Amino acid sequence: MSVVQAAHHTLTPLLEMRGISKAFPGVKALDQVDVILYPGTVTALIGENGAGKSTLVKILTGIYQPDGGEILVDGAPVEFGNADAAIRSGITAIHQETVLFDELSVAENIFLGHAPRDRLGLVNWAAMNARAAALLTSIDAPISPYTRLKDLSIAHRHLVAIARALSVEARVVIMDEPTAALSYKEVEDLFRIIERLKKQGKAILFISHKFEEVYEIAEHFVVFRDGRSIGSGLLSQTGQDEIVRMMVGRSVEHVFPKVDVTIGNTVLKVSGYSHPTEFDNISFDLHRGEILGLYGLVGAGRSELCQALFGITRPSAGMVELEGRPIALHSPRDAIAAGIVYVPEERGRHGVVLQMPIFQNISMATLGKTTRAGFLRQAEEFALARRYAERLDLRAAALSVPVGTLSGGNQQKVVVGKWLATRPKVIILDEPTKGIDIGSKAAVHAFMSELASEGLSVIMVSSELPEILGMSDRVLVMREGRMAGTWRRDELDAETLVRAATGNV
Amino acid sequence: MMSRILTYRELLLAAIIIVLIAVFAYRAPGFASPESLANIFNDTAILIILALGQMAVILTRSIDLSVAANLSFTGMAVAMMNAAYPGIPLPVLILCALAIGAALGAINGFMVWKIGIPAIVATLGTLTVYRGMAFVLSGGAWVNQTQMTPIFLDAPRTSVLGLPVLGWTAILVIALIAVTFTRTVFGRTLYAAGGNPTAALYAGINVGRTRFFAFMLSGALAGLCGYLWVSRYAVAYVDIAAGFELDTVAACVIGGISTLGGIGSVGGAVLGALFLGVIKNALPVINISPFWQMAISGLVIIIAVLFNARQERRKGRLILRDAAKQRPSLVNAQAGGAAA
Ligand SMILES: Nc1ncnc2c1ncn2[C@@H]1O[C@H](COP(=O)(O)OP(=O)(O)OP(=O)(O)O)[C@@H](O)[C@H]1O
Ligand SMILES: [Mg+2]
């Protein structure tokens, strides 16, 4: 604290949170935390999954009411009874689980709830579209305000979420894991936006599990552990090790515990796989025990390729052979039956049933294994769920609580656990550690390595270069729906992959 | 089915029902006597059975508005069979009722699954069509008590241990449905398919087919109720149970079955139906006119919906006693409370 104050004796805090507490049934999500934000400054909020970061964001944006503590804006106490009140005080956020509306246009999504009105109080469409276009230009987003959201790629949806956050006159901008599953290029774009906001004197709260980003963009940090603020200060004076120790209370080693595995025979052979609009002429082999990294920019068609391999979309040409036999993939059911499973990237939409208990979510794709003659055996379901929850370091009050009450990272562990529980031949992991903190990330990676050494073949889509470099036996890079090349582990280096992904040879 | 709020809610609903009974008993002594309570339960048996079928459909994010029309057609069909061929044994007729009902339910399910018509539209259509079919079948004529065989009429009324077989049938259906919903793969897929259809698809669950079977179940139960209704009231005509589909939806809503799918318990639906049953039986006893009865039932439904909305809103604002364990670790999750 003193460090920060010393560095900022000239700056007055824009926003102060003092002694904020918030409890949920069975969990003290926040316990007397203090956070101070200064104008023109980025403050990184760091902490493990479930440390209380998103809860703080929801309190700052009026979605939750704190049980105790006070919030000061410009030194004056404020109370946010609802989301609107927070917006009127100049606080805006990009939430971890962004909710946008598929059927609405980009402009409507941006201005939903605060659309410009005309004299009669009706929506002024012309003004709304014009302002949306201006906003999108200001963040270099090549998107038309008239496009329907469902026609946008994930990366572009993300830009819409950012534009939405900036569409209100905000002085405080909060970003809750904005870079999860963005590749370095989109991250660079985002950082340019953040720099501009900084120059405009806005205070920014930035939440991320990726340390490189935190050190690149932020000046201050606050560390949460188990709902308490453990430390804060200047990043320029604090090493990563020290922060990690504050975060988890111990030091974390081996983030990429890749074990060398003898690669076996070909398990999956994909040849000439094409889709009318998303990818073209993709061919590769996947061997027993191999981890194949799938790298590329967001929107390169990696997720679409995986979805086709899982029977969700139909390819227009090409063939898939599993263990030497051609297979037809018309639905996820077919794929699961054949032994191919897919851990989807968008966990909220594709991964979990929020109101269902954790154990039922984990057993959902394996109902056949925990049943006898159509009857569920709950003891086995629990045993299964407990096994994977422990392996993945899932933190929850009980396995019978609804998944919706978990933090984002812990929800991700439920999704990963659900699919690992199916014990497949081939597992496709789409951004498997999205939103997972570094300690648990090591656990997920160790588990992946272990499964590979038992003969499972893994396709891992990741936008995180270190993860790709650390975990893959081979890397396939995709660019704009086409293969840009494959590299063996011993040929890998960051520069080659980035060049291949962007096409800047 | 899952969270603490729901069980809390069910307890509350049960408490309200008990208080209501106590209040009515104060005004009309004898209302709370065992015979009277058994009578109320018996009277609500058909609503309970239909509400459970409706619940299966609502869990999958659909709605079945054709249950009462299905009941009417199937009731008419078995009554006419009984009148025309008195020799057909009752079990066969009951199986026929189940089969006809299931077939009509399957038509709904097929339209929703394979043709992709929204459930509300599809069943609004078949609501009219099934009543029309009942009219065509009967030519608008009634089947009277005198035309039906004594066994056909008496079976549901036979009293066993103080409760007519009709009431026991409801108990049997409740038990079967409770086991199906909480202990079988089909039950789980109902909740998954309604809770998040996309995630269910990704998990290898065929959402459309699950809906289809939910409609078929609802239809089969409606068919069974067709027989029960005709035999209980000893008459079959086209307009029996007119508007009753709304009572089944109301029972589900009062019982906390979320119309957004994926949430709700068998206990809730049964309590919702019982609540309506108690009101319906009590108001005449304390001399309230039928007009007021309808108005009061309507009011109760609105209050229940408001209560539902409030419950949803309160989520996440609950204040904790104290987290005894300083860190939420993986406590040995007890199986209890999970599937209750
Ligand atoms: N609506 C809720 N009901 C009950 N518990 C909740 C609710 N929201 C959050 N929690 C609990 O509060 C704690 C803090 O959650 P929060 O989402 O703030 O974590 P986080 O730091 O954002 O984690 P992550 O890095 O995984 O996103 C967790 O234990 C979580 O289970
Ligand atoms: Mg979070």
Distance from Cα B306 to the centre of ligand 1, integer Å: 28
A47-56, B224-233, B248-257, B294-303, range with the lowest pLDDT: B294-303
Highest mean pLDDT among A344-348, A400-404, A450-454, B47-51: B47-51
Does the pLDDT value for residue B328 go beyond 50? no
**What is the reported pLDDT for B295?**
81
Query: Tell me, what's the pLDDT at B319?
Result: 26
List the Cα angle B104/B108/B113 in 5-degree steps: 135
Tell me the pLDDT tens digit for each residue of A444-467.
888 888 888 888 999 999 988 888
Highest mean pLDDT among A55-64, A95-104, B298-307: A55-64
Rounded distance between C-alpha atoms, residue A199 and residue A216, angstroms: 16
On whether the CB atoms of residues A134 and A116 are closer than 8 A, the answer is: no
CA B263/CA B275 separation, integer angstroms: 20
B217 neighbors B56 (Cβ within 8 angstroms): yes
A223: pLDDT confidence band, cut at 50, 70 and 90?
Answer: very high
What's the pLDDT score for residue A141?
A: 83
Q: For ligand 1, say whether the CB of A405 is within 6 Å of any of its atoms.
A: yes
Q: Kindly list the residues from chain A whose CB atom is less than 8 angstroms away from the CB atom of residue B7.
A: none
Q: What is the pLDDT of residue A187?
A: 86
Q: Which fold has domain A264-339+424-505?
A: Rossmann fold (3.40.50)
pLDDT higher than threshold 60 for residue B333: no
| Average pLDDT across chain B, whole number | 85
Chain-centre distance for alpha carbon A296: 16
Q: How far is the CA of B214 from the centre of ligand 1 (A)?
A: 35
Any domain includes B51 = yes
| Residue A275, both tokens | 């889709």
pLDDT higher than threshold 90 for residue B322: no
Q: Which of A103-107, A451-455, B167-171, B329-333 has the lowest mean pLDDT?
A: B329-333
B114-122 contacts at long range (C-beta below 8 A, 24 or more positions apart)? B114/B208, B119/B57, B119/B62, B119/B63, B119/B64, B119/B211, B119/B215, B120/B62, B120/B63, B120/B65
Find out whether A67 and A23 touch, Cβ atoms under 8 Å: yes
Is residue A91 very low, low, confident or very high in pLDDT (cuts 50, 70, 90)? very high
What pLDDT sits at residue B310? Answer: 60
- Of A460, A459, A454, the closest CA to residue A431 belongs to A460
What angle is formed at CA A53 by the lines to CA A49 and CA A56, rounded to 5 degrees?
Answer: 150
Residue A248 gets the label, from left (phi > 0), alpha (psi -120 to 50) or beta, of: alpha
Supply the pLDDT for residue A255.
Answer: 61
**Which residue in A27, A48, A49, A46 sits closest to A35, CA to CA?**
A46
Distance from CA of A262 to the nearest CA of B (A): 31
In the block, which residue shows the tokens 């909710």?
Answer: A99
Q: What is the pLDDT of residue A286?
A: 94
The verdict on A350 touching B (C-beta cutoff 8 Å) is yes
Q: Which two tokens stand for residue B34?
A: 């065992």
Mutate to test the interface with A, among B4, B60, B202 (most CBs of A within 10 A): B202
The two structure tokens encoding residue A93: 């956020």
CA dist., res. A130 & res. A139, Å (int) = 15
Q: Please say if the pLDDT value at position A258 is more than 80.
A: no
Q: What does the mean pLDDT of chain A come to?
A: 87
What are the chain A neighbours of B191 within 8 Å (beta carbons)? 353, 356, 360
Per-residue pLDDT averaged across A170-189, rounded? 84
Q: What is the pLDDT of residue A240?
A: 87
pLDDT for B316 beyond 50? no
- The hierarchical CATH code for the domain A3-248 is 3.40.50.300
pLDDT(B5) > 60:
no
Q: Which residues of B touch A (CB under 8 A)?
A: 2-4, 182-189, 191-192, 195-196, 198-206, 262-263, 316-320, 323, 326-331, 333-335, 337-339
Is the pLDDT at A26 greater than 80, yes or no? no
Which range has the top average pLDDT, A110-114, A221-225, B316-320? A221-225
Is B338's CB within 8 Å of A378's CB? Answer: yes
Cβ neighbours for B161, distance < 8 A, ≥ 6 positions apart: none
Q: Say if residue B327's pLDDT is above 50.
A: no
Is B16 a residue whose pLDDT tops 90? no
Q: Report the atom number in ligand 1 closest to the C-alpha of A55.
A: 18
Domain containing B7 equals 2-288
pLDDT of residue B130: 96
Query: Is the pLDDT at A149 greater than 60, yes or no?
Result: yes
**Residue B20: is its pLDDT beyond 70?**
yes
| Residue B309 within any structural domain of the chain | no
Q: Give the integer Cα–Cα distance in Å for A500 and A228.
A: 43
pLDDT of residue B311: 56
Q: Which residues pair with A225 in a beta bridge?
A: A228
Mean pLDDT lowest for which of A5-14, A174-183, A328-337, B85-94? A5-14
Question: What was the pLDDT predicted at A496?
Answer: 87
Per residue in A267-278, pLDDT (tens digit) is 999 999 998 888
Closest CA to A46 of A243, A245, A251: A243
Q: Does residue B336 lie in a domain region?
A: no
pLDDT of A180 > 80? The answer is no
Buried b (16+ CB within 10 A) or exposed e, B220-255: bbbbbbbbbbbbbebbbbbebbeebbebbbbbbbbb
List, in sequence order, every beta strand (DSSP E) within A39-171. Answer: 42-47, 68-73, 76-78, 91-94
Checking if the pLDDT of B338 tops 60, the result is no
**Integer Cα distance of A131 and A135 in angstroms:** 6
Identical fold at A3-248 and A264-339+424-505?
yes
Does the CB atom of residue B328 touch ligand 1 within 6 A?
Answer: yes
Q: Give residue B7's pLDDT.
A: 65
Task: Classify the C-alpha dihedral B28-B32-B34-B39 as positive or negative.
Answer: positive
pLDDT 10s digits, A290-331: 999 999 887 788 888 999 999 998 888 999 999 989 999 999
CA distance A443 to A391: 7
* Contact present, B130 and B66 (Cβ < 8 Å): yes
Q: By alpha-carbon position, which residue is closest to atom 24 of ligand 1?
A: A49
Residue B58 lies in a domain: yes
How many angstroms separate the CA atoms of A128 and A120, rounded? 15
Say if B301 falls within a structural domain: no
User: Rounded to whole angstroms, how far apart are CA atoms A316 and A278?
Assistant: 10
Rounded to a whole number of angstroms, the distance from the CA of A20 to the nearest CA of chain B is: 14
C-beta of A408 in contact with ligand 1 (< 6 A): yes
Domain map (residue ranges) of chain A: 3-248, 264-339+424-505, 348-423
Nearest to A172 by CA among A203, A142, A148, A150: A203
> What band does A97 get if pLDDT is binned at 50, 70 and 90?
confident
User: What percentage of chain A exceeds 70 in pLDDT?
Assistant: 96
- Alpha-carbon gap, residue A68 to A22, rounded angstroms: 7
- Structural domain tally of chain B? 1
The answer to whether residue A43 scores a pLDDT higher than 90 is: yes
Comparing alpha-carbon positions, the chain A residue that sits nearest to B204 is A333
pLDDT for the residue B326? 30
Residue B95's CATH number = 1.10.3470
Pocket test for ligand 1, best of A226, A405, A414 (most atoms within 8 A of CB): A405
Q: Please give the pLDDT value at position A309.
A: 93
A405 CA → ligand 2 middle, Å: 11
Residues 447-466 of A with CB under 8 A from B: none
Residue in B2, B199, B326 nearest the CB of A226: B326
Find, among A170, A241, A156, the residue nearest to A203 by Cα: A170
Q: What is the pLDDT of residues B174-209, one digit of tens each?
A: 999 999 998 888 999 999 999 989 889 888 889 999
Is B330 part of a structural domain of the chain?
A: no
Residue A505 pLDDT:
59
B210-231 per-position pLDDT tens digit: 999 999 999 999 999 999 999 9
User: Across residues B251-271, what is the average pLDDT?
Assistant: 90
